[in-house]
Structure 1
Amino acid sequence: MMESKRKSDFISVVIPCYNASRYIQDCLDGLARQTYQQFEVIIVDDGSTDQSEETVKQWMEQHSPFFSIMYIKLPRNIGFAGAVTVGYFSSIGEYIAVHDADDISHPERLEKQLSFLREHPNIALVGTKYAFFPDGHFERQTPANWLAYGSDNIRRVYAQGKHCVCHGTIMFRGEVFDRLGGPTRRIRGAEDYEFIVKFLNAKLEIDNLPDILYYYRSHPKQRSRQFYGKRG
């Protein structure tokens, strides 16, 4: 996809989904409440075996035609990196945001990240602070304390082999994906780390917003728990 074909001031929200029927409605409800409404949602169902497809399509029927949503059902499970990259290739927005299927975005998330990228043309990708909550208890939120802020600080953390950006919170410029491509499929469990490092290796700047704009659901079946506990 060429940069000139991307839709100006438009956001493509990519949601990789695998057996998330229990949570995907909360995710979509949060996106429907966004204060910035110039966006599309691209759900890439990575071969789910639960009721994810039925749940999403029922939600789409209830909210159409007021909500732009694309549902892509992959014929087999190809893994997180492959699924999210399918979503990136399908996107048309000048900006691409990531969203995990079991999490919830603050109503001002897209607006604040878009404003930041508009005001800081030197920044290629921006994440946000987030809070995690136990499944079924949204009111019991705990702010994350492992993130870093400021492009120099973030670059220093990754130079030490550490991680300081929550992948589910990121928004980045679509033209960067058009040039660099998506995350690797060779490193299972570290795809999000490698994707950030790809930006840094290309001499691109990254930052985090200090506002809590994302809510990370903690539950036994979440993908990240397999690799690094509660952290997203």
Structure 2
Amino acid sequence: MTTIYLAGDSTCAQKSGGEKPMAGWGEFLPLYFMPAARVRNWAVNGRSTKSYITEGRLEAIKRAIQPGDFLFIQFGHNDQKIEDPTRYCNEEDYKRNLLAFIEAARSAGASPVLLTSVSRRRFDADGKLDPEAVGPYPRWMRELAAESGVPLLDLFALSQQLLEETGVQDSIGMFTHLAPGEHPNYPDGLTDDTHFSEEGAQAIARLALIAILDCPELTVLRDWLR
């Protein structure tokens, strides 16, 4: 059996009953794999590369990951939090931390895979999507992937394309937009253009599948797809 570990933030993480109907895309990735490829979603709300490491979560992955496994690494949203020194990462910090994840996988005989952050739903008054919706972090990850020879799944580019095609109004359904009283978990309502609805999380999981199929370095994973 091969295991795919997901290390990331709230956009990927499993949501508790108290957070629903919000959803992370990692909840739906297992639907595309046969039982021989187990997906373990170790993404955690609110984490950056820095806080994930300092809390010992990467060490936990090191203890669990085995030869032939995969480590999918997706961070960026919380690395942006310049007001929070426990999470914020500049370019040097971000790349150094990503290298720690890469080395953790490689030293265990597993395969690291970098995934750029999914885009926020950030349109301007003219309906143009912000190409820097997650700052420079997707670009920095692309650079590191090229420098370190790690496969890259560019979910930022794919999710930007999806949002542009879906449009300003129709893309609302992909995110957690709730009117007051619509859901008991959010009695005052919620307008969240970062975190997904189940519809949006499923759409991003499909984009991840497309990216895997298009990645020549990940052909081995195709054998475990449904």
* TM-score (norm. length: structure 2): 0.31
* TM-score (norm. length: structure 1): 0.31
